Amino acid sequence: MQREEQCILYLGPRYGFGEAGKPKFGIDPNAELMYEVTLKSFEKAKESWEMDTKEKLTQAAIVKEKGTVYFKGGKYTQAVIQYRKIVSWLEMEYGLSEKESKASESFLLAAFLNLAMCYLKLREYNKAVECCDKALGLDSANEKGLYRRGEAQLLMNDFESAKGDFEKVLAVNPQNRAARLQISMCQRKAKEHNERDRRVYANMFKKFAERDAKEEASKAGSKKAVEGAAGKQHESQAMEEGKAKGHV
């Protein structure tokens, strides 16, 4: 849109005032709304390279809050976009003062942890692990980072790695009951997985053995048939020779 340009926006009840309506403005319950909007002015957001460190940190606080609002509303993809902005602004930022460095690490740690949670919700478990790795690179004993990486690995059936992370959580916080329950879950899932594998391989080997037995039986039958045919041919030749001798 250009300055002074107008547009019409239509909003369903879900994005308007819902079942409550707005009697103060004469809006009925479940009303569909129409807004006429005129663009009076706007300010284009700066690109990353146009911002200094102070501006990036200020914007990081703003988009972090936006991401949290999206996450709480179940809009995980939109939340990812906000948290990714923090990473793009600060991950490769150098020459920071001590105060700025601490603030930057704090925002990055929160961004990676929140991204991991979003990716868990979106069932993108490999990306969740990658974000946890980044978070743990900033804080190797971070309880949330270890726990969420364990969750992602458990959901990918990497039971040993998941169990290892949950054990690290307990080393950081022995009172974390959820981690203790997850360790039991890893052990149970690993056992079920191994038993299922054993059954699959047992059935597979049984089928191979049955197939080999059928092939051996078929070969033996063919050999016997050939030998029988050769024997009959030999007997027939002997009889013919006998008849020939008698005729002379």
Q: Are residues 144 and 83 in the same domain?
A: yes
Question: Residue 147 belongs to what domain range?
Answer: 49-179
Q: Which of 182, 181, 172, 184 is nearest to 144 (CA)?
A: 172
> Which residues, in sequence order, are CB contacts of 127 under 8 Å at separation 6+?
115, 119
- Residue 102 in domain: yes
Last residue of a domain, one of 179, 210, 235: 179
The tens-digit pLDDT sequence of the chain (248 residues) is: 778 888 998 888 877 788 888 888 888 999 998 889 888 877 777 888 889 999 999 999 999 999 999 999 999 999 999 999 999 999 999 999 999 999 999 999 999 999 999 999 999 999 999 999 999 999 999 999 999 999 999 999 999 999 999 999 999 999 999 999 999 999 999 999 878 767 777 667 666 667 877 777 777 666 666 666 666 666 666 566 655 555 44
Q: Which of 181, 179, 185, 184 is nearest to 165 (CA)?
A: 179
Tokens in use for 28? Answer: 């009925």
> Which residues, in sequence order, are CB contacts of 80 under 8 Å at separation 6+?
67, 115, 118, 119, 122
Q: CB–CB of 80/111 below 8 Å?
A: no
The pLDDT of residue 34: 87
Q: Collapse the DSSP code of 42 into the 3-class scheme (helix H, G, I; strand E, B; otherwise coil) and give the result.
A: coil
Nearest-angstrom CA–CA distance, 50 and 237: 104
The pLDDT of residue 242: 58
Q: Collapse the DSSP code of 46 into the 3-class scheme (helix H, G, I; strand E, B; otherwise coil) and give the result.
A: coil
When divided into structural domains, the chain yields a total of 2
CATH number of the domain encompassing residue 144: 1.25.40.10
Phi/psi at 8 (5° precision): -110, 130
The pLDDT of residue 248: 40
Q: CB–CB of 164/143 below 8 Å?
A: no
- Residue 122 in domain: yes
Tokens in use for 224? Answer: 């016997």
Q: Are residues 65 and 166 in the same domain?
A: yes
- Residue 195 in domain: no
Q: Are residues 156 and 109 in the same domain?
A: yes
The pLDDT of residue 247: 47
The pLDDT of residue 225: 62
Residue keyed to tokens 């079942």: 19
Q: Are residues 69 and 170 in the same domain?
A: yes
